[in-house]
A and B are shown apart, each in its own frame.
Chain A
Amino acid sequence: MFLSQTDKHLSLWLRLCTLISATILALIIMFLLAESWPLLKHGVLTQFISDESWHPAQRLYNILPMLSATLLSTLGALTLATPLGIASAMFNRYYAPSFLASGYRRIIELMAGIPSVVYGLWGLTTLAPVINLWHPPGVSLLCAILVLAMMILPTIALTADSALGAIPVVFHQTAAALALSRWGTIRHVLLPLAKSSIGAGIMLATGRAIGETMAVLMVAGNVVQQPDSLFDSVRTLTANIALEMAYAMGDHRAALFVSGLALMLMIILLAGLAEINKRSS
């Protein structure tokens, strides 16, 4: 590649800035490791799942209850948000009259823009009291699932919407020429074509749900326990960090950074899955 003298100088500066941008991820992982080191250096990773409970004062650091709360709430939110999100996208593309489609898309975009702390506030002041009437205490796994589902629904809906929009018109025409019904066309022609992009959107949403902090912190009740039912209060990994960082010292602080590492690990795993999904399509 030919570069003039001016361009060479510019290129050097740009390369430097690029290096700085790229270092941030490395720095994050480095600092998570460094801060976790006081606990990791003993080499007994099993302690985080075999300790009796999470009692930092007694040096007991079992993160399993929090881990399962994170996974359960994510799973629940996905179960709700995936069909609803895909239905939203199908509505926009194939069912809605055009004036409704643009209005509804705007609603979804606005929902995507609402900050998590506002979802949390609404869940705490409106949703939790309603659940409380049905089955106390209200702030619970169920409440967390509902709020999380609302938060990740726009991600799924918007990616599915653009995936469906990217399907070439010929497929509609071919399906129409075969006299397939609207649902038949969607189910057997269009959805399979958009499958991998929709999958990518779902993975993106999964990442958001796993990493979400404020909303679940406000509505899940924050009791460290293995939930027996949807109405039990739970505490997720992220909420635990947010709650205890303020006063954690020494090994306790290290244990919180270990849960940060666990979160990072899940995110990197998801990124790997997304990569595989992308390659295979």
Chain B
Amino acid sequence: MKSLLIEPDRHPKDHPGQERSYTLGPLQAGPPCCDPQTLLSIKNLSLSYGSTPALKNVSLDIYQGCITALIGPSGCGKTSFLSALNRLTDMIPTCNVSGDIHFHGINIHDPKQDVLNLRRNIGMIFQKPLPFPVSIRRNIELPLREHGIDNPTESDAIVQQVLSDVGLWAEVKDRLNAPAQALSGGQQQRLCIARALALKPQVLLMDEPCSALDPISSAVVEDLIQRLRGRYTIVIVTHNLAQAKRIANYAGFFWVSDRAGCLIEFGQCKQIFESPQHELTAAYVNGSRG
């Protein structure tokens, strides 16, 4: 964490062409995307709520450092899929998950798996920005403290750093103790991303992170996601096909068949959008269905 510490007034020089109304810290480059290494491997994942199936036999690999976009019509199980990856499905009593999910080669459903640690490593951003009803600073500090970082200097440094990373520092540095819910929607969403980043996750699951935001905030968040590429592995659900095309390295297309969601096609983003193998995919990305 220390190595990433930056002085707030240095970053415009590091990114001369990218001066905007917000600031963004320099992010360390991760392993390059052109040499894909599997980080999360999902095999035959099926998921049901009570007796109604929501997902059937989904298998795909998520590659380290890349952005993977999941697209598909409403109700095809994208949110359910994301929740299964960090076992947030455990919170829903009726939800049954079967199949294998390996993270770094370790089965996440292993009884010895520490779920809290798993969730710390696989962060999640929700469609609706969800800051806790406390101050901006506390929103980031609380999870840190629960994970054992309670030294004030250290956590202050992390707060500053993650807020800079998401380009929020300049906007909120004078009112860190103000209630987080007084921020605008876009700022709230970036705060939520900062909060997740503070725990140094390896994977970020984003469930339609821009769809509750206005176009400008949405562009800001999208820009941010681009910059997170490399350092974090990102799985993003989006209904905005143009956005998926712009930012993703890989794309997966979900569809409802037999009343349960399934993965129709998965591949390089370019391939999915420009030469889809499956006619459903072709129809969906060309906008004639779904």
Q: Is the CB of B115 within 8 A of A1?
A: no
Nearest-CB residue, chain B, relative to A1? B93
A58 within 8 A of B: no
A4 within 8 A of B: yes
B274 within 8 A of A: no
| Cα separation A1 to B91 with both chains bound (whole Å) | 6
Q: Which of B91, B93, B115 contacts A4 (CB 8 A)?
A: B115
Q: Is the CB of A4 within 8 A of B90?
A: no
Q: Mark A220-239, 1 if CB is under 8 A from B, else 0.
A: 00000000000000000000
| Cα separation A2 to B88 with both chains bound (whole Å) | 9
What total of chain A residues lie within 8 Å of the partner, measured CB to CB?
A: 3
CB distance from A3 to the nearest CB of B (A): 9
Nearest-CB residue, chain A, relative to B115? A2
Contacts of A2 in B (CB 8 A): 87, 90-91, 115
Q: Which of A1-29 contact B (CB under 8 A)?
A: 1-2, 4
B116 within 8 A of A: yes
What total of chain B residues lie within 8 Å of the partner, measured CB to CB?
A: 7
Contacts of B93 in A (CB 8 A): 1
Contacts of B114 in A (CB 8 A): 4
| Cα separation A4 to B87 with both chains bound (whole Å) | 13
| Cα separation A218 to B153 with both chains bound (whole Å) | 68
| Cα separation A178 to B115 with both chains bound (whole Å) | 59
Q: Mark B198-227, 1 if CB is under 8 A from A, else 0.
A: 000000000000000000000000000000
| Cα separation A1 to B94 with both chains bound (whole Å) | 9
Q: Mark A150-162, 1 if CB is under 8 A from B, else 0.
A: 0000000000000
Where chain A touches its partner, the secondary structure class is loop
Q: Which of B167-203 contact A (CB under 8 A)?
A: none
Q: Which of B91-142 contact A (CB under 8 A)?
A: 91, 93, 114-116
Contacts of B116 in A (CB 8 A): 4
CB distance from A42 to the nearest CB of B (A): 51
Among B93, B114, B116, the one with the most A-chain Cβ atoms within 10 Å of its Cβ is B116
Contacts of A4 in B (CB 8 A): 114-116
| Cα separation A52 to B87 with both chains bound (whole Å) | 72
Q: Which of A162-199 contact B (CB under 8 A)?
A: none
| Cα separation A4 to B114 with both chains bound (whole Å) | 8
| Cα separation A2 to B116 with both chains bound (whole Å) | 10
CB distance from A8 to the nearest CB of B (A): 12
Q: Which of A62-100 contact B (CB under 8 A)?
A: none
Nearest-CB residue, chain A, relative to B88? A2
| Cα separation A106 to B29 with both chains bound (whole Å) | 65
CB distance from B108 to the nearest CB of A (A): 11
Contacts of B90 in A (CB 8 A): 1-2
Q: Which of B39-87 contact A (CB under 8 A)?
A: 87
| Cα separation A1 to B88 with both chains bound (whole Å) | 10
| Cα separation A4 to B118 with both chains bound (whole Å) | 12
Nearest-CB residue, chain B, relative to A7? B116
Nearest-CB residue, chain A, relative to B87? A2
CB distance from A11 to the nearest CB of B (A): 14
CB distance from A115 to the nearest CB of B (A): 37
Contacts of A1 in B (CB 8 A): 90-91, 93
Contacts of B115 in A (CB 8 A): 2, 4
| Cα separation A4 to B91 with both chains bound (whole Å) | 12
Q: Mark A31-70, 1 if CB is under 8 A from B, else 0.
A: 0000000000000000000000000000000000000000
| Cα separation A4 to B113 with both chains bound (whole Å) | 11
Provide a sorted-by-A list of 10 A–B residue pairs whose CB atoms are within 8 angstroms: A1-B90, A1-B91, A1-B93, A2-B87, A2-B90, A2-B91, A2-B115, A4-B114, A4-B115, A4-B116
Which chain A residues have a beta carbon within 8 Å of chain B's beta carbons? 1-2, 4
8 more A-B contacts (CB under 8 A) besides A2-B115, A4-B114?
A1-B90, A1-B91, A1-B93, A2-B87, A2-B90, A2-B91, A4-B115, A4-B116
